[in-house]
Amino acid sequence: MILGMGAPELLVILLVTLVIFGPKNLPKLGSALGQTVKSVREGMEEGDAAAAEKVKSEVSEASTEVQTASSQKKSCPKCGAEVDADAAFCSHCGAKID
């Protein structure tokens, strides 16, 4: 099966193409179709590479943000829970953060 079509459908398409373009133009048509498929595949591969690079950069940025956020934490003096650096009170026990 190619593109969800079985052998009978492909045979009908081939016969219609042969009738429309004639047997002399069929090799040219096949060559043009092959080049088109090749360029589409190459374009898809380039798109995949670009998408992968974009994802890598986004992951890197997110990792940097997480590291920055985690470095801006401190511990509650009463219960030891991790709280934001700018927090005035512990979100776990309610103790005042100095």
Tens-place pLDDT, residues 8-21: 888 888 888 888 87
Where helices occur in the chain by DSSP H, the ranges are: 7-71
Place of tokens 């509650």: 76
Positions in the chain short of pLDDT 50: none
Q: What letter would DSSP give residue 93?
A: T
Per-residue confidence (pLDDT) for residue 79, from 0 to 100: 92
- Give the domain ranges of the chain: 7-72
Angstrom distance (rounded) from CA 60 to CA 49: 17
Please state the pTM of the whole predicted model: 0.40
How do strand 73-75 and strand 82-84 relate by DSSP bridges? antiparallel
Going by C-beta distance under 8 Å and a sequence separation of 6 or more, which residues neighbour residue 83? 73, 74, 75, 76, 90, 91, 92, 97
Tokens for 63? 């990792």
Our CA dihedral for 79, 81, 86, 88, rounded to 10 degrees, sits at: -30
